[in-house]
Amino acid sequence: MPFVTADDGAQIFYKDWGTDGTPVLLSHGWPLNADAWESTARYLAEHGHRAIAHDRRGHGRSTQTWHGNEMDTYADDLACLIDALDLADLTLVGHSTGGGEVVHYVGRHGTARVAKLVLVSAVPPLMLRSDDNPEGLPVEVFDEIRAGEAANRSQLYRDLADGPFFGHNRNDVAQGFRDAFWLQSMACGHRAAFECIAAFSATDFRPDLDKVDIPTLVVHGDDDQIVPFEVGGKRSAEMVEGAVLKVYEGSGHALPDTDRDRLHTDLLEFINA
């Protein structure tokens, strides 16, 4: 299996599908791994693109390091992968926590190698409520997730999959999607999953969004129960000059699964434009 070595020696697993077409790098949500993007990666590769998806450190098949489970290191690991593969004219696509990762990459490493940016149900600009972010979510929301992670993470993942992540508490979602969420989540290291809750909720991505100078597509469901539209996609689109906002009416958080065909069409149209 292919790996790249991060600056501290951590091994970062990745998939590299397709041929020599324009590259697209897909970054996954918490606490999943590259498999969360496999349908999209296959679709893009079958439509002439090179599709790359990695397991964030601590997740899936990458090294479960004790340190570095925060956004600065995630973004630097992504830079190691992009540099190692010598990717250029790249489209970065991030779902949920992955949206934070790709935006933070732009903030720390610039857009010399990146042509376009796509944020799907993404956590930027800032999920946590604070004095200068009164629209955010209260810390108790994330404390409850941390408590569930510490007490019985297997049950937490089942509850998320059977509830707000896919919107199964409102509309039936296939058992297979929910099973895949649990399976991928259990492959994440316990410490990595716990620490990543702070990374996706408390990292302030507003300075990173200020540095985005490339065409950007923001896709968000207006019934997202994990990253509410008003907290995430709506505000990110307002902050990036010229960003295209697509709102999926009635859709929840897991757009790569629940709204797969529509998302694939929108992605391909944006990447090929």
List residues with catalytic annotation: 96, 224, 253
Residue 150 CA to residue 153 CA, distance in Å, equals 6
Q: DSSP characters for the chain?
A: --EEE-TTS-EEEEEEESSSS-EEEEEPPTT--GGGGHHHHHHHHHTT-EEEEEPPTTSTTS---SS--SHHHHHHHHHHHHHHTT--SEEEEEETHHHHHHHHHHHHH-SSSEEEEEEES---S--B-BTTBTTSB-HHHHHHHHHHHHHHHHHHHHHHHTTTTTTTTTS---HHHHHHHHHHHHTS-HHHHHHHHHHHHH---HHHHHT--S-EEEEEETT-SSS-TTTTHHHHHHHSTT-EEEEETT--S-HHHHTHHHHHHHHHHHHH-
Residues 13 and 79: beta-carbon distance below 8 Å: no
The residues facing 53 across adjacent strands are 15, 26
